[in-house]
Structure 1
């Protein structure tokens, strides 16, 4: 891990290694052990984390209760989902999203795979006409 990546890691997740992504945690800790620059960045990030923890107030219990009450009332006022009618309601579990496109593709494949109708002898093509003209006196 490079020092600029370590700096971005600290800016994104803070100084606590428990908050760092597992995939990058070992590399970051290895850099932190050997690099004085990484140690200085980590100390700065730890200082910032502590300052934010002290300066930010904790959640107010009364405000949280009011917010939960408003949310519960808003959810209670929402109308119930209406039942789908008839055949669509019966087919819904069997027809996943996008089934219409799949059915259309299957119909097109069947239509294109059908055999061509036999050619009529009444309609003569150019090669046949040329051959007939060569036989004329």
Structure 2
């Protein structure tokens, strides 16, 4: 075990090597035997664990049981989740099969449908308001610096 891995496991498992998985604890003990830095890191972790333990009030068994009963009562009052409908179950089964970009694909299909249904400008009835003539567009384009 390397020193960085030891420090990571100290953060993950705490300073008591008895709580570590057996193989990792054995590797940590071997590292501690030969590394002063590892022993210093373990000492800092033990002081931190002691400070945290000293700041917490002792938990009495009666208080712990009261907390468990309160939690069980809250869970019992929670509403049950609604049963999924047939459509919801079908959608849940089809969701993994849908491609990630299906929203973009649906937008493209809607735009294509809209473009096929829109009436072109040259097909407007004779009495309809005349859009800008080509000469007016050119005049406006030349006026812009």
TM-score calculated relative to the size of structure 1? 0.49
TM-score calculated relative to the size of structure 2? 0.47
